[in-house]
Amino acid sequence: VIDKSIMKTMTAFTFNILLVLSDCFFMVYSLSYYIAGPLALYLIISFVLQRQSMAIKREAVRMEAISKSPIVSWTSETIKGLPQIRSLEKTNYVKQIMIDLLHANMANSFLSNGLDCWFKLRIYLTNIFIVQIPSYLYIIFYDINISVVEVTMFVFLSTIMAEDILRTLTFFSDFEANLISVERVTFSEQIP
List, for residues 75-124, the tens digit of each pLDDT value. Answer: 988 899 888 888 888 889 999 999 999 998 888 888 888 888 888 899 88
Residue 1: pLDDT band with limits 50, 70, 90: low
Query: Residue 96's pLDDT is what?
Result: 92
Asked if residue 167 lies in contact with residue 16, where contact means CB atoms within 8 angstroms, the answer is yes
Quick check: 15 pLDDT over 90? yes
Percent of the chain at pLDDT above 70? 98
Span 26-54, pLDDT tens digits: 888 877 788 888 889 998 998 898 888 88
- Characterise 89 by phi-psi region: left (phi > 0), alpha (psi -120 to 50), beta (else): left
91 HSE (CA, 13 A, CB side): 5
Neighbours of 15 (CB within 10 A): 12
Using CA atoms, how far apart are residues 94 and 65, in angstroms rounded to an integer? 22
